[in-house]
């Protein structure tokens, strides 16, 4: 079976101006998709990411995933502009490094912020865009998760828990929205992006040494997995797809 072309399809990538998000946008555009990038605060980055994409008819829109009214307006804009939505990539996410043993350092405000963006924001995006995704031939939702949701090792305890919740949501909604909408998680380990580049080089070298494939992921590895889930894994839903170089084996 040949992979499905994305020609003429519309994809929406939340937080699409960042390193992983922009790589996903480029990969989908390379296969013919038109892309909508959403952002919360960095308008310049989102506009630049949209302008850099090949072709035209791409958009960058202000739509924080924690703002339900903004998501409703987003759905209306996508409907009016394109009349369809085929792919939703829930890529927006936040975290801050807090040692797991530092229970006081992980205060209530940070916990709530992480869950509001990482879990509730993904759910709210699906809820707001469900009708568009169900139209036509049906849609695909890709949640950008993390192996932290399975290993419990990550930037902080709340971040790990939020990604575990995202994977649980993937399974629940894959069942609830079938057969019209497929829902999958793409679950990276360390990614050589904006967050990793703020970490000490010695920490990244340690992660590389513990990874069987001897490196951490590039944003393009995540983007390739997203495309594969959409176009190749057409009989898969509710699955958690690792992009971690075998890191849990190390």
Give the other-Cβ count within 10 Å of 243's Cβ. Answer: 23
Q: Which value, in Å, is the radius of gyration of the alpha carbons in the chain?
A: 17
Q: What percent of the chain has pLDDT over 90?
A: 88
2-11, 25-34, 105-114, 125-134: range with lowest mean pLDDT: 2-11
Q: What is the pLDDT of residue 137?
A: 82
* pLDDT at residue number 2: 57
The residue behind tokens 């305890």 is 157
Q: Is the predicted pLDDT of residue 205 greater than 90, yes or no? A: no
Provide the pLDDT confidence category of residue 203 given band limits of 50, 70 and 90. confident
Of 117-131, 164-178, 202-216, least confident by mean pLDDT is 202-216
39 is catalytic: no
- What is the arithmetic mean of pLDDT over 22-27? 98
> Where does residue 4 rank: exposed (0-12), middle (13-18), buried (19+ CB within 10 A)?
middle
Question: What six digits make up the tokens of 239?
Answer: 């699955």
- Residue 174 sits at the vertex; the CA angle it makes with 173 and 180, to the nearest 5 degrees, is 105
CB 150 within 8 A of CB 187: yes
Distance of CA 91 to the CA centre of its chain: 2
Angle, helices 108-115 vs 157-177, to 10°: value is 30
Catalytic residue among 39, 82, 159, 227: 159
Q: How far apart are CA 26 and CA 23, in angstroms?
A: 5
Q: CB of 9 within 8 A of CB of 29? A: no
Contacts of 12 (CB under 8 A, 6+ apart): 35, 36, 38, 74, 78, 85, 87, 88, 89, 129
**Strands of 181-188's sheet, edge to edge?**
59-62, 34-39, 10-14, 87-90, 139-144, 181-188, 240-243
């Amino acid at each position: 079976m040949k992979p499905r072309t994305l020609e003429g399809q519309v994809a929406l990538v939340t937080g699409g101006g960042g390193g992983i998000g922009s790589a996903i946008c480029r990969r989908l555009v390379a296969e013919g998709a038109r892309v909508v990038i959403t952002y919360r605060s960095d308008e310049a980055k989102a506009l630049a990411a949209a302008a850099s994409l090949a072709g035209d008819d791409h958009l960058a829109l202000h739509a924080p995933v924690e703002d339900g009214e903004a998501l409703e307006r987003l759905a209306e804009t996508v409907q009016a502009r394109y009349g369809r939505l085929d792919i939703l990539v829930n890529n927006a996410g936040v975290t801050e490094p807090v040692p797991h043993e530092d229970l006081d350092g992980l205060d209530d405000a940070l916990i709530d912020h992480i869950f509001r963006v990482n879990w509730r924001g993904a759910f709210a995006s699906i809820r707001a865009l469900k009708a568009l995704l169900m139209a036509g031939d049906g849609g695909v939702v890709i949640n950008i998760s993390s192996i932290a949701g399975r290993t419990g090792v990550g930037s902080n305890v709340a971040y790990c828990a939020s990604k575990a919740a995202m994977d649980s949501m993937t399974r629940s909604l894959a069942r609830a929205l079938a057969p019209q909408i497929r829902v999958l998680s793409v679950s990276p380990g360390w990614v050589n992006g904006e967050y990793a580049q703020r970490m000490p080089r010695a920490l990244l070298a340690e992660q590389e040494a513990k990874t069987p494939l001897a490196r951490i992921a590039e944003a393009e590895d995540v983007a390739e997995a997203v495309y594969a889930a959409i176009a190749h894994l057409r009989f898969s839903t509710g699955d958690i797809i690792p992009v971690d170089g075998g890191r849990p084996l190390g």
